[in-house]
Structure 1
């Protein structure tokens, strides 16, 4: 069924309820326009219908709506209107309406709940979860423990215990993957696991952190740090990162001084509940070359341009000539945004330094801009990239396709060990960054293409038909679209493929599709898993990177 995804505040629809009306909260409590106030619910829709067809029929009826929302696999829909008059006219037109043989039931609908106050759906093991959260938010539990439980859930385990725990998690995932492959292909597979490689640095390893500005416990004002607790339980507090083991001392000092500065200013912190206030977020990036970038997210609220300029001047002076100069900040970027959930950028200004910092990875240097993706653990990334090079047996006769190459870190670090690298990336800005990074490191045997893989793969396969061609796929957290996997499957000249999964559970569909039997949809021989190795890039958390070597 076709559907339109509309999520002004949440993608969860609010069903009609007989409960007493409660006080409006969040975006409903603000005196601003939202079509959620003027909504109808249509029930008894046919089991199978198209979103486009429903939209067309409503227009033919003369219903003057602004949007339609159809929950997945549902026989009801929500229709939003611009005002009360349009909604009531729509109610009259739709009363008694028959659609594909079904008499449609129409009624007023409640607005969607603000995500800050959305009730949680029951989940498996919810009783246990509720118990844990209840314990976590017990008034006797120190805030330092709550913050660590939220930001670094494995903080109270020794590093050896953390690695053992993660190794068990990976092996359980691989067993589940074996079973799913068996269900798909009717063949029994055993996936080898080579263990987990530890991070070279355990504490203070993160080179990028995003800190929120908000209210602390006991209503402490203008706290800068990590949010802890969960919106679903009505908890939204910000706590200092000083106890978090994954944050460096450099960042902790910076956060403390930034907090001191904004407390000296009259502009309030930004509230995600009311969308009122100014100081919203502090993003910090560091590098091994002693670069320290801060990016401020500042909502304009009711401030004039002159008042915002004064905030910029005060911030710059504080970190260059006042108490904050001890932090040795090299780059300051000040972003002014609109006061709404989407955080629409109005203006971005560089107050100090360049728009990027320089990071060192192996013997290479990379320009890393404020919003560019770069592995959060630089030394851990070196372990991961060395694993890729060694596992794939790269040599000076190998052509590497670096798929989802981003700013080119993998391809550039491997280029001196192979004949040629071709980086493929949809994001044009990332490709431009990759080209600059290649020039910065005098890498000449690498090309970058800003295009979808399915549009260029066959041309590349034909070009390197007589070469040893291998592919490296480093996709986003949720993996890639199945069209990418289908394209790789059809490229018969690619015999070896390395897949880097930062969230293996979300990438399961890709891993299964690479291995499923040949069919009309998946042409070409399937890839078999040769080996898997985990790399711990995120000590004190449950997260890890999983490298999977495929071959056919």
Structure 2
């Protein structure tokens, strides 16, 4: 899964999909994530209208706004009858600005109206979940009483640290089966006419209508992480500046950072790099950054490690505050000296980047990391191919297991020399390039321009000539890239971010009948359920192509000692002759999903996401 952008003021530490305690933005990001999930939402362009008369009707107000004042109101929301304020939503920012200018100060029925921009409504489902999570946090805090700092950190970062590996695999198999059965329930709702067939298959596949293979073990279970991001803060036990993981969140009153030397999923060379930088921070005149009052400087240390060459890339991130350009240049020199010592060379540090953070609040801009020392990239290898890795590049966290993942995807896809692979969300081209020698053509799509540059460079480095890579959002450029595909056996490889593919991309895949199979890769299967359901639902006026049925699911333990895993799911296109007539229920479900393309409303999500 590719990295995600976050926004918001509050930060927390939690386990990421790869099992590491990370600094994520909390409620602000999660409650409003629906705005960035794709599709239009009038919640983006909302105003609050106050000072309304005691007696008025919505029809009267609409007439005033749309006919008399020439506004383009999308909808009006009144909390309750008789309220002296309400929300009005618009299609774009220009219409909203026009409305504010027209309504603010306007006298209507003897009352002077006040019109101002309004914040979008939070997603009620996410808000409720966050409240539940808060209760869990309180319960966990109680459970943590009496535990050592080391135990609390292990529980947060690698919660299976005291569970045997065989037991870990059993737990993960049980969880992925539960997740897939939830997906099965969604399919059951859609395919009323296929229920007998589904039931028959469930008897064969132990409750599922398709094959769930045994979870594949990770070839490496310790020191497997090739990338980790650490926080700089104060250790609550020693009161010293420490480079490690935060134990809690600012909103729950915890900002302490614990050391990471006892965590078994982090390589020893990475731990040594952390220790070297920690010594540098402790000897520095500059304090660690404080999320409590936005003071301080040192923020993060990111370490990327090549399992192929042993090279390490370190990225130091800090808030410059009021430091002058001269002081920053001096710091750069000191950092170069720090990471050029014999100890640094001994643990494999070759590349150094310096990242000035300016993004403290929503809307602030952030800078890119500046290269200070050594090569601009490090190189790793998967299935005999070499891949260059830049600071921002996506690369599977567990390199050894990534080889297993990609070889399994190739096998499941049934690719031939005549196939064309459509690598959606291709990143730096790793999976597409691994497919290249098995197929006729690979076409990759990626939103990050730097990643596309890396993908092209990786193709050239490995002498691969049958791959092309394109920059843009999948939902925007997928039709034009599909037009370049030749033959009638197209295999789509989908490895999207957590939020999944935009509905327009799903629609394009459904309507392109030459796409015969989809290999869907996900590190968060529950989040992928919506995409999988849309790919499987019966044909409609919008989803014209035959649906995709799940055929085989293969879980892989990409993240030992954590609850997370990677799932590869093969979806096969249903033969046109087998399609059932569209039922009233499928019409309703289609409108529920397509609604997210035209109007994504948090109030309606309870029906469409369950």
Question: What TM-score, normalized to structure 2?
Answer: 0.73
Return the match for 2:348 from 311, 325, 328.
Answer: 328
Q: Superposition pairs for residues 362-511 of structure 1, below 5 Å?
A: 362-458=383-479, 464=485, 466-511=487-532
Correspondence for 1:262:
281
* Pair 257,529 (structure 1): closer, same or farther in 2 beyond 3 Å: same
Return the match for 1:123 from 123, 132, 143.
Answer: 132
- Determine which structure has greater relative contact order: mean sequence separation of CA pairs < 8 Å that are 6+ residues apart, divided by chain length: 2
Correspondence for 2:100:
58
1:233-272 CA-to-partner distances (Å, cap 9, x unmatched) read 3222211111112101111111112111110111111112
1:469-525 CA-to-partner distances (Å, cap 9, x unmatched) read 211111111211111111100001111111111111111110000000110121110
Return the match for 2:296 from 277, 286, 299.
Answer: 277
Q: Superposition pairs for residues 28-177 of structure 1, below 5 Å?
A: 45-46=77-78, 49-51=88-90, 56-62=98-104, 67-72=117-122, 122-123=131-132, 130-136=138-144, 138=145, 140-177=146-183
1:306 aligns with 2:315: no
More helix by share: 2
Please tell me whether the aligned partners of residues 103 and 115 of structure 2 are also in contact (alpha carbons under 8 angstroms).
no
Give the superposition deviation at 1:143.
Answer: 0.5
Please tell me whether the aligned partners of residues 515 and 527 of structure 1 are also in contact (alpha carbons under 8 angstroms).
yes
Correspondence for 1:81:
none
Correspondence for 1:30:
none
Please tell me whether the aligned partners of residues 226 and 399 of structure 2 are also in contact (alpha carbons under 8 angstroms).
yes
What runs of 5+ residues in structure 2 fail to find an aligned partner?
A: 1-5, 11-25, 30-46, 53-76, 80-86, 106-113, 199-208, 574-610
- Distance in 2, matches of 1:507 and 1:322, equals 46
* Pair 528,258 (structure 1): closer, same or farther in 2 beyond 3 Å: same
Give the superposition deviation at 1:43.
Answer: 9.8
- Distance in 2, matches of 1:171 and 1:42, equals 51
What runs of 5+ residues in structure 1 fail to find an aligned partner?
A: 14-38, 75-117
Please tell me whether the aligned partners of residues 283 and 294 of structure 1 are also in contact (alpha carbons under 8 angstroms).
yes
Return the match for 1:212 from 213, 231, 252.
Answer: 231
Give the superposition deviation at 1:68.
Answer: 2.4
* Pair 461,133 (structure 1): closer, same or farther in 2 beyond 3 Å: same
Structure 2 residue matching 1:243: 3-state secondary structure:
coil
- State the number of aligned residues: 477
Correspondence for 1:240:
259
Question: What TM-score, normalized to structure 1?
Answer: 0.80
- Distance in 1, matches of 2:311 and 2:421, equals 32
Correspondence for 1:181:
187
Please tell me whether the aligned partners of residues 268 and 277 of structure 1 are also in contact (alpha carbons under 8 angstroms).
yes
Correspondence for 1:20:
none
- Distance in 2, matches of 1:260 and 1:359, equals 28
* Pair 214,65 (structure 1): closer, same or farther in 2 beyond 3 Å: farther
Give the superposition deviation at 1:59.
Answer: 2.0
- Distance in 1, matches of 2:234 and 2:260, equals 14
Please tell me whether the aligned partners of residues 119 and 232 of structure 1 are also in contact (alpha carbons under 8 angstroms).
no
- Distance in 2, matches of 1:266 and 1:285, equals 27
Aligned Cα RMSD in Å?
2.9
